[in-house]
A and B are shown apart, each in its own frame.
Chain A
Amino acid sequence: MDSPCDSVIGDRDLLTEILLRLPVKQVIQCKCVCKKWSSLISNTKFPYSHTCRLYHKYNNNPPPTALLVQNFADTKAQRASIVPLHANDNNDNKMFFHLDLDGCNYRSSIMHSCNGLLLWNVIPTSQPGPTSEDSRACHFRIHNPAMSDDQCVYLDYPVGDVDSPYGDDIFEPFELKAYLVFEPLKQPLSYKVILFGQMNPSVIYYGRRVGFKVLNPRIEIRLYSSETCGWSEVICNLPDGLRVTEGVYCNGAIHWFRLDHDNSVYFDTNRLCFDKLPAVPSVDDSCVKYFGECRGRLHLILSDTLEFDIWELEEDYSSWVARYRVNLNRMHDGESALWWNVSSNPFSVLSFVHRQEEEEENSMLVLFKNGKIMSYSLEDYGLRVLCKVYRDEVPRSIHQYFETLLCVGNS
């Protein structure tokens, strides 16, 4: 007769219930325990059920478990460091994410991280040789780094200006920002990729009879939808003075915040149009210290001093509210109080992670100073070093990340 243990894990329903309650990292570990568990987890319904449960627990906005920091100067390595946000995650993690690429011929970087999927931009640095199998031109890759690399979507760059006599040239903007829109709770799974390109001014010569056409510097927007499996150009009214800079993705829209000229706008990926953000009540000597997103809400820090407010945008986009007060003069490292050495470089804010009252962890600010990335708890004022980057310049490419079981494969 079966032992009670065998009866329990032999029962598919009971085993599923046990696995559904585990955090994502442990589920991935359980995939390696035995073949039976692996096939149960890989079954198409399980990742979706697990994701629904997880999102339900966090009110549809799970908190990030790590920050991804790209080592730009380290071009050979081409990888993103994973900086875990919580102490107990340190020991059992991978250190880096990177694509399996022929490092000499390609350059890759993470453009965006959305709900557990990463969007990479892959650019050949030289002409790929005729014999290399993976000889593709510029393209994007979308994959779930927590699961094995088999399921990866390859997206070639869209075609350039169709009116141009250069015909099939690819979309090659001077500045490119790309965003991945992935809403995991929608069935069937679908995603969108939005590109914002700052195009060079250029002159096209159509021949002696026709003459020149001058294309002014302009912004072009391209959209890829997994439902149509194709790129399309988005034509809409562009706000004045819009520049393609790093925007913040939140709730299906990409936001750019500018303090001057009341010029903060956002692009809605469903309605495919621009709209304005409400103005922030004016503060003396304001500068944009931090503009970011966490768990479906936008946050803004406007002051360079050690005591400041964190503004949060209301859910209906009606106004900004000063939601948290931070006093960096109050901090300790668990043993003794700390003080900033204010004569040296000011600190930078990399991220703000807020937690609800019911959750165990505290809301925290992720700061950077003197080559160290640190977390500062808003509740107990504790400062903890998360990792050392040994570089003085502020890391520019920071992405919040949490693991997911869902994958988007080439179907």
Chain B
Amino acid sequence: MELLCIRQWISGLLPTWLSAWCIKPVGGALVRQEPEYILLALMGSPLKKIMLCSSEKEIFSVEEQVMVQHSVIINNMIEDGSYNHEESKIPLDCVDSKTLKKVIDYCTHHTHHHNDNQEDLEAWDAQFLNVDSNGLYDLLMAANYLEIRNLLDLIYGTIKNMIKGKKIDEIRRIFNIKDHGFTPEEEEQNRKEYPHFY
């Protein structure tokens, strides 16, 4: 039976309060560990984990399989052998802890729930992206850096919906564009030619 199935089977058996107790120190930081991992570690068959280090020097431990499936950058690092499981961690200096945790959440959910039906996944995605706009842009930059295709498509789709049906003044407000850079004549010309955009 595949390791992933064992893990899911165990997690199904355990009560949820148990996860609150499963904390272990890793690399000088405290990391929340899902109980099934601890059990598996106790059983002597740990799943391969990798360490990601945020810009705030916080370490996150995550299943290698999860990150390799979603992030092209991490997949390449592991394949070309530049990552050593025993000691090294992957430094992600342009991603802060809050964003990195969200990214890991996304990848983990999509790996573990990839057999779910489309509607459930979409509902989860919608809930996942229910963040303020700064959080959204941070996620976009992180997903771009890590090259996570499906998260990128999801965020671009959300931004597209933010712009849809809006007038130009609203779009300028949404993107914090204070100075549009057109001369008064150019702005006048635009307003004359496309009055329905304003």
Contacts and interface: CB of A to CB of B under 8 A. Distances in A.
Interface residues of A, number: 28
A14 B176 contact: no
Contacts of A5: 133-134, 137, 175-176
18 contacts: A3-B137, A4-B135, A4-B137, A5-B176, A14-B141, A17-B152, A18-B159, A18-B160, A21-B157, A29-B197, A30-B163, A30-B171, A32-B190, A32-B197, A32-B198, A33-B180, A34-B180, A38-B182
Contact of A3 (B134, B144, B196): B134
Contacts of A38: 182
Nearest to B183: A35
B9 interface: no
Interface in A1-23: 3-9, 11, 14, 17-18, 21-22
A8 B144 CA distance: 10
Contact of A94 (B152, B175, B196): B196
A187 interface: no
B119 interface: no
A92 interface: yes
Contacts of B198: 32
A364 interface: no
Contacts of A7: 137, 141
Given A14-B140, A34-B180, A29 B194 contact: yes
A93 interface: yes
Contacts of A32: 168, 190, 194, 197-198
A343 interface: no
A265 interface: no
Nearest to A9: B175
Contact of A4 (B138, B190, B196): B138
Interface string B165-198: 1001001100111011110001000100110111
B129 to A, nearest CB: 14
A265 B55 CA distance: 69
A3 B159 CA distance: 17
Given A3-B176, A22-B163, A8 B190 contact: no
Given A5-B176, A6-B176, A8-B137, A28 B194 contact: yes
A21 B180 contact: no
Interface in B54-107: none
Contacts of B137: 3-5, 7-8
B164 interface: yes
A4 B98 CA distance: 14
A92 B134 contact: no
Shortest beta-carbon contacts, A-B, top 10 = A35-B181, A4-B137, A34-B180, A32-B190, A8-B137, A29-B197, A92-B196, A4-B134, A4-B138, A5-B176
A148 interface: yes
A94 B194 CA distance: 8
Contacts of B181: 34-36
B21 interface: no
Contact of A34 (B135, B163, B182): B182
Nearest to B196: A92
A93 B195 CA distance: 9
B156 interface: yes
A93 B176 contact: no
Given A8-B141, A92-B196, A33 B171 contact: yes
A93 B196 contact: yes
Nearest to A22: B160
A411 interface: no
A21 B156 contact: yes
Contacts of A3: 134, 137, 176
A318 interface: no
Contacts of A91: 196
B8 to A, nearest CB: 32
B134 A34 contact: no
A32 to B, nearest CB: 4
Interface in A21-47: 21-22, 26, 28-30, 32-36, 38
B175 to A, nearest CB: 5
A35 B165 CA distance: 21
Contacts of A8: 137, 140-141
A32 B193 CA distance: 10
